[in-house]
């Protein structure tokens, strides 16, 4: 997998030649996603947002065969990630709502069909942000976009692969990019 550090600070581009590479990126991100994080997955229809979120969720739950349906009709699917040792900002456990080893709720949103920001609040956005949120079509968040969000833009390449552009991940983004290179499909994982 080709990874290219960008000249812009805090921006990393990762070439994903096939869906196995997208899943490898999802798995690589699992250890660095923390309580209170908002991971915004931007990209055209079919860019690979759900593929990435699915691999990330399966890795967080340590279950490579876990059912992770696209939330395109339900708008949100929630997952209890058991026993994840997830520190918040500054290495502290965030807000006391997830003690070490107690687990955290991860909410996977697809806002393509969202009917305005009011509908997002009704879906439980505020509570979801106390845990971890993964958001497809984050353009729909508008003013509710978390200022500290971690961004992943998926761009379809002319050769059919994808480029992932990571912004807001700091040193984690660079570490993930450096750690990738083996896009071997994890045993038991299927798209």
Interface residue list for Mg ion (CB under 5 A): 49-50, 70, 136
Shortest distance in whole angstroms from residue 40 CB to Mg ion = 13
* Biggest CA pair distance of the chain: 46
43 belongs to the binding site for ligand ATP (CB under 6 A): yes
Q: Which of 72, 80, 89, 95 binds ligand ATP (CB under 6 A)?
A: 72
Query: How many other C-beta atoms are found inside a 10 Å radius of the C-beta of residue 102?
Result: 13
* Nearest Cα residue to 12 out of 140, 146, 171: 171
Binding to ligand ATP (CB under 6 A) within 12-41 occurs at 16, 18-19, 21-22
CA distance 38 to 178: 22
* Nearest Cα residue to 87 out of 75, 78, 95: 95
158 belongs to the binding site for ligand ATP (CB under 6 A): no
DSSP, collapsed to helix, strand or coil, labels residue 171 as helix
46 belongs to the binding site for ligand ATP (CB under 6 A): yes
Nearer to ligand ATP, 19 or 130 (CB): 19
Q: Which of 9, 90, 91, 160 binds ligand ATP (CB under 6 A)?
A: 160
């Amino acid at each position: 997998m080709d990874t290219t550090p960008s000249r812009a600070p805090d921006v990393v581009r990762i070439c994903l030649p096939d869906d196995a590479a997208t899943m490898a990126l999802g798995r690589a991100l699992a250890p660095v996603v923390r309580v209170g994080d908002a991971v915004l997955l931007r990209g055209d229809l079919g860019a690979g947002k759900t593929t990435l979120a699915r691999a990330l969720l399966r890795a967080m739950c340590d279950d490579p065969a876990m059912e992770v349906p696209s939330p395109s009709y339900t708008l949100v699917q929630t997952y209890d990630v058991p026993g994840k040792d997830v520190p918040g900002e500054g290495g502290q456990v965030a807000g006391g709502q997830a003690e070490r080893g107690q687990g955290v709720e991860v909410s996977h949103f697809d806002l393509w069909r969202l009917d305005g920001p009011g509908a997002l609040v009704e879906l439980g956005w505020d509570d979801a942000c106390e845990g971890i949120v993964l958001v497809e079509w984050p353009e729909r968040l508008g003013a509710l976009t978390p200022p500290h969000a971690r961004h992943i833009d998926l761009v379809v390449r002319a050769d059919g692969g994808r480029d992932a552009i990571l912004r807001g991940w700091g040193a984690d983004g660079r570490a993930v990019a450096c750690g990738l290179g083996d896009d071997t499909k994890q045993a038991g994982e299927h798209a």
